[in-house]
Amino acid sequence: MAHSVDIVFINPPLIWGQENRLDIKPPLNLIYLASYVNSKGFCGRVIDVISEGIGIQEVLNRIAEINPKFIGVPFYQGTRDTALELCQKVKKLKHGIIVIAGGPLVTTLSDEIVREDSIDLCVIGEGELTVEEILRSKSENWMNIQSLAFKENGKVYSTAAREPIFDLDSLPFLDFSLINSKVYYDFQKSLNMPIWLFFSTSRGCPFKCVFCATPVLWPGKTRRNSVKRVIEEIKYQLSKEPEVNIGFMDDSFFSDKKWLNDFFTEIEKLKIKYCCIGRADQLSEAEIKLLAKTGCHYVGLGVETGNSLRQKKLKKFLNLEKLKFSVDNLARNGILVKCFFMLGFPDEKPEEMLETINLAVDLKKLGMSECNFFSVSIYPGTELAKNFNFSNFSSKIYEKYDPENRSISVLKNIGEDIGEKRLSIYGNISGIDINPHYSREKILDVVKLSYNKVEKGEYASLQEMNELCR
């Protein structure tokens, strides 16, 4: 039977049976891939299980109906089991379908993932060029395609690494018609947010934090779209969706000062709202004023820890005084600020975690509007993972969740636990105990305490931390 659809990219949920656990943004990785292969004359589709709220059987029914030659499934550490279950059932559903695995876990742990019977090909690194070559291949001679891992007669092969795409301007505009964006917009509205359309202007990060896999996923120098190309894409997306604000998902939006200044000059002309993520200690007072002047509505800041020595150990090297300066100034200029923290590093003491929690309280008093606390997981490929073996690389999704997706503001009114709600949204937790003072279950209690302390604007005490150790 002929294949009118070449490839279907499937975005599995965090947990099968909880398909309505929405994120505020769609699966950009799959939209990038499908937009690219479609621009090259192929036919790619996206099944976004999460926004459609469908179960695994409905996914299988659609695959049977569409009859693609290939399916592509992203693998993340916390959703490895979910993605693997999908691959296994697809293989049983249809003989001859070729299952392609991609995503961060495949890039950092391809030798393990490729051994799974239900997976035919592992795409290592960024996938556009590799997937295009797979679709063009007539003989299924995978040795000729770079950045692949695959099995042949029971033996695992890995081909040479592909050079990254240096000219990001050569990639097509994202085609958001591949998914139902309205579901995400409605969810954003339910959280009292403006509606956001997200994409990235760069790949990579100039920093090498020990807990982060970005240096492996995007090796080498940071690559950026030109400002001209970014503005063209914004105009294009606004022609499709005039009411949206633009969200930039770059790891480090403020690092290239010339690019940033050129961006300020051009973005101001569009009279739009935008948001971005970056390092607090890379912002000057003048740049914060320009962010406000040019329409920046929201800035996300990675903090990780409130302990200066831990900042050095993590190779984050964030200047905490400059962090406070930036949060204060961003808030004074009317820009919403969200900060991200991590708790439970392998040798982290309760006293250090206390510093992080109380720094977050200080930042709340300075104007931080929101924050996230994450329990530390060990990700393969990171420098932090070097002291752990493969069996330690596991994470789980916090299974309790709010099926009504109620906002934090609603919970404040009805007195429910803010920490519990936050975990239900962002609960990627370690599958093992990695901290000597707290079990992985106890770390969740520390995370809940952190959220509630910040919400109340009151400092945590060492006594409270020690009680959680018991």
Establish if 417 belongs to a structural domain.
Answer: yes
Sheet with 245-248, edge to edge strand ranges: 196-199, 245-248, 274-278, 296-304, 336-343, 370-375
Spatial distance between the Cα atoms of 96 and 94, rounded to a whole number of angstroms: 6
- Does 270 lie in the same domain as 344? yes
**Residue at a domain's end among 158, 183, 217:** 158
Residue 157: closest CA among 104, 99, 216, 114 = 114
- Would you say 384 and 209 are in contact if contact means Cβ atoms under 8 Å apart? no
Spatial distance between the Cα atoms of 12 and 2, rounded to a whole number of angstroms: 26
Establish if 438 belongs to a structural domain.
Answer: yes
Establish if 103 belongs to a structural domain.
Answer: yes
Q: Say how many C-beta atoms besides its own lie within 10 A of residue 457's C-beta.
A: 10
Establish if 185 belongs to a structural domain.
Answer: no
First to last CA, the chain: 63
Q: What is the mean pLDDT of the chain?
A: 91
Residue 240 has pLDDT above 80, yes or no: yes
- Does 99 lie in the same domain as 225? no
Establish if 238 belongs to a structural domain.
Answer: yes
- Does 230 lie in the same domain as 273? yes
**Residue at a domain's end among 134, 158, 182:** 158
Residue 263 has phi, psi (to 5 degrees) of -60, -45
Look up residue 386 and give its two tokens: 């070097």
- Does 243 lie in the same domain as 120? no
Output DSSP code: residue 390. Answer: G
- Strand ranges for 347-418 from DSSP E: 370-375, 395-397
The arithmetic mean of pLDDT across residues 360-372, rounded, is 96
- Does 314 lie in the same domain as 241? yes
Q: Where are the alpha helices (DSSP H) in 22-68?
A: 28-39, 49-52, 56-66
- Would you say 204 and 253 are in contact if contact means Cβ atoms under 8 Å apart? no
Q: Please report how the helices 257-267 and 285-293 are oriented relative to each other, as an axis angle in degrees rounded to 10.
A: 30
Establish if 121 belongs to a structural domain.
Answer: yes
Q: What are the residues facing 202 on neighbouring strands?
A: 224
Spatial distance between the Cα atoms of 179 and 387, rounded to a whole number of angstroms: 40
- Does 199 lie in the same domain as 144? no
- Does 149 lie in the same domain as 196? no
Establish if 182 belongs to a structural domain.
Answer: no
Give residue 396's pLDDT. Answer: 81
Give the rounded percent of residues in the chain with a pLDDT score beyond 70. 95
Residue 389 has pLDDT above 80, yes or no: no
Spatial distance between the Cα atoms of 252 and 204, rounded to a whole number of angstroms: 8
In the chain, the number of structural domains is 2
Residue 102 has pLDDT above 80, yes or no: yes
DSSP-assigned letters across all residues of 222-272 = -EE--HHHHHHHHHHHHHH-TT-EEEE--S-TTS-HHHHHHHHHHHGGG--
Give residue 415's pLDDT. Answer: 55
Q: Which helix (H) or strand (E) holds 90?
A: helix 80-93
Spacing of C-alpha 237 from chain mean position? 21
Establish if 167 belongs to a structural domain.
Answer: no
**Residue at a domain's end among 117, 136, 158:** 158
Banded pLDDT at 17 (limits 50, 70, 90): confident
Domain assignment of residue 40, given as a range: 7-158
Spatial distance between the Cα atoms of 134 and 162, rounded to a whole number of angstroms: 14
**238-242 long-range contacts, Cβ below 8 Å, gap at least 24?**
238/270, 238/272, 240/176, 240/177, 241/176, 241/181, 241/197
Please report, for residues 29, 147, 240, the alpha-carbon distance to residue 39 in angstroms, rounded to integers and kept in the order given: 16, 21, 18
Give the rounded percent of residues in the chain with a pLDDT score beyond 90. 75
* Cα-trace Rg, the chain: 22
The arithmetic mean of pLDDT across residues 329-356, rounded, is 96
- Does 250 lie in the same domain as 397? yes
- Does 388 lie in the same domain as 240? yes
Spatial distance between the Cα atoms of 199 and 245, rounded to a whole number of angstroms: 11
- Does 196 lie in the same domain as 150? no
Residue 1 has pLDDT above 50, yes or no: no
**Global pTM value:** 0.93
Q: Where are the alpha helices (DSSP H) in 254-349?
A: 257-267, 285-293, 308-313, 320-332
Model confidence pLDDT, tens digit, residues 28-66? 999 999 999 999 999 999 999 989 999 999 999 999 999
Spatial distance between the Cα atoms of 259 and 250, rounded to a whole number of angstroms: 13
Residue 408 has pLDDT above 90, yes or no: no
Model confidence pLDDT, tens digit, residues 261-310? 999 999 999 999 999 999 999 999 999 999 999 999 999 999 999 999 99
Give residue 243's pLDDT. Answer: 93
The enclosing domain of 133 has a CATH number of 3.40.50.280
Residue 360 has pLDDT above 70, yes or no: yes
The arithmetic mean of pLDDT across residues 93-122, rounded, is 92
The enclosing domain of 304 has a CATH number of 3.20.20.70
Please report, for residues 405, 456, 464, the alpha-carbon distance to residue 358 in angstroms, rounded to integers and kept in the order given: 28, 12, 13
In terms of Cβ atoms closer than 10 Å to its own Cβ (0-12, 13-18, 19+), residue 456 is exposed
- Does 152 lie in the same domain as 231? no
Model confidence pLDDT, tens digit, residues 174-221? 999 999 999 999 989 988 889 999 999 999 999 999 999 888 888 889
Look up residue 162 and give its two tokens: 């592909």
- Does 314 lie in the same domain as 212? yes
